[in-house]
Amino acid sequence: MKMSLQEQASILSREVLISVRIVTMDYYMAPPSIEADNLLDPVYSMFRSAPIKRVPILRVFGSTPAGQKACLHIHGIFPYLYIPMPPGDNPGFLYRLASSLDKAINMTMSGNAAAAEKETKLETNPNYHHVFKIIEVSGLPYYGYHSREHRFAKVYLYNPMYLKRASDLLNSGAVMGQVFQPHYSHVPYTLQFMMDYNLQGMSLIHLKMAKFRHDQPAALICEESSQQIVDWLSLTPASQKLFKLKEMTIDMLAPDTLKRTTTCQLELDAVAADVLNTNEDLVDTKAKRSGNPGLEFIWEDEKLRRLHQGLSLEENPLTPPSSPPRQRSP
């Protein structure tokens, strides 16, 4: 059942801490963020039985519904591709695949001086791990007709830059002496994230939790949690939430070791589990989208703004303007 705008706005106000409009998105590589109980990134790969050196972090630039410019760092998202699993039982296949793919990538880097200059000395180590983990999944192949699901290995990498290189090596037979048909390797890292979390350009990322970066020690900004602040966050509509560091609780502030890196009014960190856009109770994931979802989200925002101001949509209908007629040249 489709939610009304009033119902959607009410639910979002209760469940969402902050929303950020996606204007532009990129990523960067950094060591895992570790600070006491504030663990934003994985620091150890159970699959590889090794500590993690560097992880990808998505960075979203945009603004909140109230108009505050924001930079959002999203942790815990790794690039991936799929390859078909060989038939039959293959004990240890996933571990051998990871080891062989690591070796193949390291060999191409050691033999290419130009490529090695672009990477860090850490990643040009001949024993460096590029595969984060591999899990077995099932799904329908893209090519041909298939009446049932097939088994696939989902290969997670650390660096999105190596997604294309890993795909070429798998397809050329350089890994385990076999030719593997990669799937999803053509999809850019940022687009993988947007597809998996039901996001489009100019849409809002809804977060149930976030950590705000600051320039001074957290102890000097606020002393302890205030129920008044918690109530304000849950009852105030998103379009009216103006975030100020001095009005935040201590658990909303990022560790002092995470420094601000931009001039945006707000700079915050979140993990993948904090993104609520795949929750059908909060976002109508089955709604019919127009040919331009980005513009549609802007129109939806304007409808919500009018509702918060008490303007009737029946008396003041909001419809996109029609395209002007084109003059045909003789």
Tell me: do 241 and 217 sit in the same domain.
yes
Q: Tell if the pTM clears 0.85, that is, is over it.
A: no
Domain count, the chain: 2
Closest to 57 (Cα-Cα) out of 38, 41, 44, 43 = 41
Residue 285 lies in a domain: no
The C-alpha atoms of residue 258 and residue 269 are separated, in whole angstroms, by 9
Q: What is the pLDDT of residues 121-144, one digit of tens each?
A: 555 566 789 999 999 999 987 778
In a domain, 302, yes or no: no
Residue 313 scores a pLDDT above 70: no
- 267-303 residue pLDDT tens: 999 999 999 988 766 665 555 555 566 667 677 777 7
Both tokens of 311, joined, read: 């303007």
Decide if pLDDT at 225 tops 50: no
Pair 90, 165 in one domain: yes
The answer to whether residue 113 scores a pLDDT higher than 60 is no
Q: Poorest-confidence range of 44-48, 220-224, 271-275?
A: 220-224
Domain's final residue, options 274, 292, 321: 274
Answer yes or no: are the C-beta atoms of 282 and 11 closer than 8 Å. Answer: yes
pLDDT at 242: 82
Q: Give the model's confidence band at 219: pLDDT under 50 very low, under 70 low, under 90 confident, else very high.
A: low
Q: What CATH number is associated with residue 149?
A: 3.30.70
Residue-wise pLDDT for 50-107, tens only, equals 999 999 999 999 999 888 999 999 999 999 999 999 888 888 999 999 999 999 999 9
pLDDT tens digits for range 138-191: 998 777 888 899 999 999 999 999 999 999 999 999 999 999 999 999 999 999
Average pLDDT value for the chain: 80
Q: What is the residue range of 230's domain?
A: 5-45+54-76+193-274
Question: Do 181 and 84 sit in the same domain of this protein?
Answer: yes
Q: Is 177 inside a domain boundary?
A: yes
Is residue 325 a part of any domain in this protein?
no
| Concatenated DSSP letters of 42-80 | --EETTTTEE---EEEEEEEEE-TT--EEEEEEES---E
For the residues of 121-138, what is the DSSP string, one character each? TTTTSTT---EEEEEEEE
Residue 239, φ and ψ in degrees, nearest 5: -70, -10
